Amino acid sequence: MTIRRREFLAACVLVLSTACHSATGLDRDRLLQRLEKEILGHPVTGQIVYLAPQPLKGGDSVHAWRFEHNIPKDYGATLFLFVDEQPGANWEHAASYVFIDQASNRFQVEPGRTPPDNLPTFQRLN
């Protein structure tokens, strides 16, 4: 009985998480395609793209070790993508902080050298 209950709960979590992503209009494949073609201008093959667990808002700061990255103040709900350009290498290597305003689709890319402090909470997109 306990195993079936766990399986049921796991299935509920999967359905709810899928519904939440659908409700926000997040399409992982389209987001990756836009990142490559429009935002970065190159494929992310061999790189790892992470998505913050929830949208941030204009004026928020993202902390990364001894660095801080600021989302433009005039942005509303903002998707935050972190691109690790050299997975497996020690940090202090090339990375990108990508902020996408969901309402206007404007974006800002900032170079980084270290991951955000809360990277373990992010979802890997590729």
CA separation for the pair 119, 124 (Å, rounded): 10
> pLDDT value at position 25?
58
> pLDDT value at position 21?
43
> pLDDT value at position 3?
54
Predicted TM-score (pTM) above 0.75: yes
Backbone CA torsion sign across 109, 110, 112, 117: negative
> pLDDT value at position 26?
75
| For range 5-16, the mean pLDDT | 41
Radius of gyration (C-alpha) of the chain in whole angstroms = 16
> Are the C-beta atoms of 49 and 83 separated by less than 8 Å?
yes
Question: Residues 81-96: pLDDT tens digits?
Answer: 999 999 999 999 999 9
Residue 97 Cα distances to 1, 24, 44, angstroms: 46, 21, 14
